[in-house]
Structure 1
Amino acid sequence: MATWFLIVIYLAFISLGIPDALLGSAWPVMHPQIGASLESAGLLSMIIAAGTIVSSLASGTIIKKWGTGQLTLFSCALTASALLGFSFAPSLLWLALLAIPLGLGAGAVDAALNHYVANHYKAHHMSWLHCFWGVGAMTGPIIMSYFIAKHGSWREGYSTVSMIQWGLVLILLVTLPLWKKVANLQQSKVDHNDLSDPSSEPTNDTSTDVNSKKVHPIRIKGVKMTLIAFLFYCGVESTVGLWGASYLVGAKSMTAETAALWVSLYYGGITVGRLITGFITMKVNNRILILAGQIIAVSGVVLMLLPLPNIASMIGLILIGVGFAPVYPGLIHETPHRFGKVNSAQLIGYQMAVAYTGTTFLPPLFGILASQWSIQLFPIVVLIFIVGMLLSSESVNVALKKRQSNHY
């Protein structure tokens, strides 16, 4: 029963990932057909992300009232409806209106499932959870690329993804009773094995000390810089996903369908990277994996900046995805260990909200820069975002070491 329950959670994360890269993959052919400007993709991305911020901040209250299972079911149905609406939208205004339920549907379930897995499963399950998000994010552009290449229709791409979402809604409906039955069983298993998890940094775990002090979670040392790391991570991940295809078309003269395919391989790098990371976390702690991933991502951007053939830029895009793989799940899974389990629900909600804030503002910011100057700024801006993430995440480790040394 517990295995079936975990499969359901993975499927829910597939449903979160499928829509994420659709807009960026379709936009090179989509915006001329609806009479929208290039930078309008940033506006739509901002609206979607704003919805996720609102729903992720409200996730704690909604979960208490509905439960994680019902919230996940409703959210997937909401996104499926919005995607179907996208396939019929005649103008940018309609897309903007439909972006609201698309964002709201994603935010609450994202925070809820991340909190559940962080508290009830080991680190490899968190990596694999986000690996399945990557499966969805990789599948979306592949579907869109197929319909653009074979039928010249981005609308059919959206309608097909909507039907897949509705299939997941049906699965969630059938398996809804599993959520309550398995929750207590998984909690007891995790409590029993918690100390044997090598993926968490033992020297940094002063959660007992944190729990004993009545301070607002946001004031705990290291929390603010962690939030900045989340802002940069989701901002740069979304920037690459949204504008990667436009960069390959505008700066590298590729066709729209080829560019969409390579963006899917970027998400494939994230997906495969998280699959592999899940096994590595059994031997290596999250802190090392997060740092290594960011260094790999930087190397991918450097490869794109060098005056090399187009294949180098495409390989660089994949390397960025591989490097991103351990960062997000690693940071989330460390939350209860670093800042205390009693604070984790609230802090993960904050993390999701700040992450979506990065998704809201950083991709549109690049869209403005690209429209005013050049799409060729893409790798430079991506590098700046990654370096900001690296500096903030490493400063957290320094702060935690100081807190741990003071504790002793």
Structure 2
Amino acid sequence: MLVAFCTLFLAGWNGGSTGAMIPYIERNYNISYARVSVLFVSTFIGYVTAAAATGPLVRRVGFGNTLLIAMVVELIGNVINCSQRKSFNFMCFGFFVVGSAFATQLGLFNSYFARLNKPLLWTGCLHGIYGLGAFASPQVATAMLIRGVPYNVFYTTNVGMNVPLFGLVWLAFGKLKALPINPAEASVHGSVLRETLKSKAVWTLAVFLMLYVGAEESIGGWIVSYLIEVRHGDPQGASWVASGMYLGLAVGRIVLPPVNMLLGERNSVFIYVALAIMLQCLAWRVPTFNSTAICTALIGLTISTFYSATIAMGGKLIPKSMHADAFSLISAVGQSGSAFWPLIVGVMSTKTGIWVVEPTVLALLGAQGACWWLVPRVDRRVQ
């Protein structure tokens, strides 16, 4: 579990820094909101690639070897991102490479954690560590950028973490061929991937996760630009707001799972969605920097356990023999929201202004509540 925590910390470190760096990337390449949003599209293509490739790759080379391949691919992407700032297209390719690696890692770790006792608790910790990485990186990136350090230099920190992590993953998972299943769980007929694609539970959870991750990353990706232009804040203060949202995510994912186990995954999500919608309305309609900052951090706290609730629910609804494919698909489709919705915000912002961030997030929160209503009720783990 420690190795998985470290890997997700790096993923959060990489993902959380993007919002703080977007204004500097725009300035470096002299591009618009819509053009810089191609970074999110590149990441989305990486997620789709991972969704299609992870399950077959696990069956061909094994669980551990697939993780090791993903670590090498991630290292290549980070080297690309830190090595140049002349070609925006090449930077987009780097985001594609890192996105495909991250989605692969996430899908495999989700399937691993879904099999543990108290999956809601441990998956919450896993994604809480992601939040800690995303909390720290905007501050480090901003501290470097305001001192005139080129944005691409930040990615050398990713490379520095990537190399020892490869060794840790090799030690922890290198010999693991497949996650264990019992004979009763091996009775899925036909192609595992085909059965996964036909599963209503898989697609409902995947769409919910896409909406959730889209809301989270639309805030994380654009809140700095929004606060600078709409609330007239300074870059360092705005980056603290982004960090505050990710800190709320990290704290909630570690602290709230015991509460959620008492309430039940289903009920807790409905309660938190309602709270998040109220906070988002305040962040949008009260036109001050401080109110937006406080509400944004609290939104991070309220939505923090949605990811772990999804994985825990999937562990109960989806046969274990389908977990590698199902969780890869759920994770990849879910993470595609981190590319698709920030892209939509970027395109709309180019046409109408960056103010669209807040109402878009509000709409995504409402859609999450509606989608969660469609998730089947379950009282026991499906075999």
- Asked if Structure 1 and Structure 2 have the same fold, meaning a TM-score greater than 0.5 normalized by the shorter chain, the answer is yes
Equivalent of residue 57 in structure 1, options 46, 49, 52: 52
Q: Does 1:137 align with 2:134?
A: yes
Q: Deviations over 1:315-350 (max 9, x none)?
A: 111122112211111111111312433444333233
**Within 5 A, what are the aligned runs for 1:7-406?**
7-87=2-82, 88-122=84-118, 123-176=120-173, 180=176, 216-220=195-199, 222-397=201-376, 400=377
CA distance in 2, matches of 1:106, 1:94: 18
How has the CA–CA distance of structure 1 residues 298 and 254 changed in structure 2, closer, same or farther, with 3 Å as cutoff? same
**SS state of the match for residue 72, structure 1?**
helix
Given that residues 201 and 314 in structure 2 are in contact (C-alpha distance below 8 angstroms), is that contact kept between their aligned partners in structure 1? no
Offset from partner CA, 1:284-328 (integer Å, 9 cap, x none):
321122222222321221121222421100111112211221111
Q: Which runs of 5+ in 1 are unaligned?
A: 1-5, 189-206
Evaluate the alpha carbon distance shift between residue 221 and residue 19 of structure 1 in structure 2; reply closer, same or farther with a 3 A threshold. Answer: closer
Letter in 2 for 1:395: L
Retained in 1: the 8 A contact 2:62–2:177?
A: no
Report the residue type matching 2:299 in the other structure: I
Structure 1 position 272, deviation (Å): 0.6
Aligned-residue CA RMSD in angstroms? 2.8
For residue 193 of structure 1, what is the aligned residue in structure 2?
Answer: none
Amino acid at match of 2:375: V
Cα drift, residue 15 of structure 1: 2.1
In 2, distance between residues paired with 1:264 and 1:23?
12
1:276: how far off? 0.5
| Letter of the structure 2 residue corresponding to residue 377 of structure 1 | V
Contact preservation (8 Å) 1:140, 1:161: no
CA shift digits 1:227-248 (9 cap, x unpaired): 3212211222221111111111
Once residues 95 and 359 of structure 1 are traced to their aligned partners in structure 2, the CA distance between those partners, rounded to angstroms, is: 17
User: Helix, strand or coil: the match of 2:31?
Assistant: coil
Task: Mark the CA change 1:339 to 1:74 in structure 2 (over 3 Å): closer, same or farther.
Answer: closer
Contact kept, 8 Å, 2:47 with 2:333, in 1: the verdict is: no
Verify the 8 A CA contact 2:202 2:330 in the aligned structure 1: no
| Residues 48 and 212 of structure 1, relative CA distance in 2, 3 Å threshold | closer
Find the residue that maps to 1:36 and give its secondary structure: coil
CA positional deviation for 1:213: 12
C-alpha contact 1:73 1:172 (8 A) present in aligned 2: yes
- Other structure's SS at 1:119 match: coil
| 1:151 Cα deviation after fit | 4.1
Secondary structure class of the residue paired with 1:112:
helix
Q: What is the letter of the counterpart of residue 222 of structure 2?
A: W
The structure-2 alpha-carbon separation of the partners of 1:33 and 1:223, relative to structure 1 and needing over 3 Å to count, comes to closer
Return 216-225 or 32-41, whichever deviates more. Answer: 216-225
Query: What does the per-residue CA deviation read over 1:45-76, in whole Å, with 9 as the maximum and x for residues that have no partner?
Result: 11112112211332112222333333323323
**How many residues in Structure 1 have an aligned counterpart in Structure 2?**
373
Distance 1:289 1:68 in 2: 33
Looking at structure 1, the residues matched to 163 and 123 of structure 2 have their Cα atoms a distance apart, in angstroms, of 25
Deviation at 1:152, TM superposition (A): 4.3
Paired letter, 2:101: G
The normalised TM-score by structure 2 is 0.88
Letter paired with 1:275: I
Deviation at 1:221, TM superposition (A): 5.2
Q: Which runs of 5+ in 2 are unaligned?
A: none
Superposed displacement of residue 393, structure 1: 0.6
> For 1:355, what is the secondary structure of its paired residue?
helix
Q: TM-score normalised to the size of structure 1?
A: 0.83
- Measure, in 2, the Cα distance between the counterparts of 1:306 and 1:62: 48
Report if aligned partners of 1:148, 1:257 keep a CA contact under 8 Å in 2. Answer: no
Cα gap change, 1:137 to 1:73, in 2 (>3 Å): farther
Counterpart CA distance in 2 for 1:390 and 1:287 is 10
Percent of aligned pairs sharing the same letter:
18
Code of the residue aligned with 2:98 in structure 1: it is: L
Higher mean C-alpha deviation, range 93-102 or range 155-164:
155-164
In the alignment, the residues of structure 2 paired with residue 137 and residue 68 of structure 1 have an alpha-carbon distance, to the nearest angstrom, of: 26
Alpha-carbon distance between aligned partners in 2 of 1:385 and 1:335, rounded to the nearest angstrom: 21
- Name which of structure 1's ranges 43-52 and 298-307 shifts more when overlaid on structure 2: 298-307
Q: Contact 2:62–2:178 at 8 Å: present in 1 too?
A: no
Q: Is the 8 A contact 2:205 2:314 kept in 1?
A: no
> 8 Å contact 1:57–1:350 — kept in the other structure?
yes
